[in-house]
Amino acid sequence: MMKHYSVLLAECIEGLHIQENGIYVDGTLGRGGHSKAILNNLVNGHLYAFDRDMDAIEESKQYLEKMSEKVTFVHTNFSNIKERLHSFGVKEIDGLLLDLGVSSPQFDEAHRGFSYRFDAYLDMRMDQSQSLTAYEIINTYSYHDLVRIMYQYGEESYAKQIARKIEQRREIKPICTTFELVDIIKSALPTKVLNRKGHPAKKVFQAIRIAVNNELEELQKALEDALSILKIGGRICVISFQSLEDKIVKEIFHKVSRNEKVDKRIPLLPNEVVTPPYKMITKKPIVALEKELMENRRSHSAKLRIIERVR
């Protein structure tokens, strides 16, 4: 099994405030690091571990074999948490953990096509049973859709130039591999950008990956559904790795944990002040400590936000 470093592990376990007999959900099982830590804190409780990547589930089944009676593995996207839990007869949960980073093995396994560091078929599917791949987006989506994806999901300033180059190249022959796409991206960028620190294809690869896996829409649904089935005293912990995800988490959490604005000139009696149903545990996101930053470079952009249901 390839090593996968569980980001902000101690902070997540502390943040979940685990009840030993509670029902918990790991919406992003990955290679099982966070799940194992949750299971270690359960006595008669149960964990439902979700992942859209069947490879991750198979590896984690072996990793968590000694705790198998306390965990149910579910092969589906975390946006289906509410529906799938209902199918198991679970109507409420004590906590949810989401680690939104692409797992290290997905990046490191060249054939998955997630990384601009390896030459591979343009795949990028987290769930390999789905039909939509990066190849299809790059070769069939319109110029305007490509620009929208790169600008919206990658915040790529040169989206138009890159989309035009993609359009020109695929008229000659299909764009099949990650390195072909990297070459096209580089050919569209000015020298000043190519000379900057960091890989010039990073933003585009992020954007295409998000589009292939419908990540932002799935995240929004997962959070809204999870909040609706969270028990009083239950908590949700979300680790995000880029600004678009963090913005969604922050906005949804703020929306349910803040009072509706009222005219300050209208006096309210104490019993007329409505307490929000949720409370933000983290005023500012938790970030990795120096030791973790040194051990795992992927933790540098990680932000953990935590919310609790209070009524």
Contacts of 189 (CB under 8 A, 6+ apart): 158, 161, 162, 200
- Tell me the mean pLDDT in the region 143-153: 98
| Fold that domain 110-213 belongs to in CATH | DNA polymerase; domain 1 (1.10.150)
pLDDT, tens digit, 9 for 90 and up, residues 169-184: 999 999 999 999 999 9
* Rounded alpha-carbon distances, angstroms, from residue 101 to 67, 88, 239: 25, 27, 8
Cα separation, 303 vs 151, whole angstroms: 23
Cα separation, 121 vs 113, whole angstroms: 6
* DSSP 8-class letter at 113: -
> Which segments of the chain belong to CATH 3.40.50.150?
9-99+215-309
Whether residue 235 has pLDDT greater than 60: yes
pTM of the predicted model, to two decimals? 0.90
Cα separation, 71 vs 61, whole angstroms: 9
| Dihedral sign of CA atoms 90, 95, 100, 105 in order | negative
> Which segments of the chain belong to CATH 1.10.150.170?
110-213
Q: What is the pLDDT of residue 1?
A: 38
pLDDT, tens digit, 9 for 90 and up, residues 178-234: 999 999 999 999 999 999 999 999 999 999 999 999 999 999 999 999 999 999 999
Contacts of 221 (CB under 8 A, 6+ apart): 79
Q: What is the pLDDT of residue 2?
A: 42
Superfamily designation of domain 9-99+215-309: Vaccinia Virus protein VP39 (3.40.50.150)
- Segment (H or E) for 132: none
Q: What is the pLDDT of residue 107?
A: 72
Q: What is the pLDDT of residue 232?
A: 98
- Tell me the mean pLDDT in the region 121-147: 97
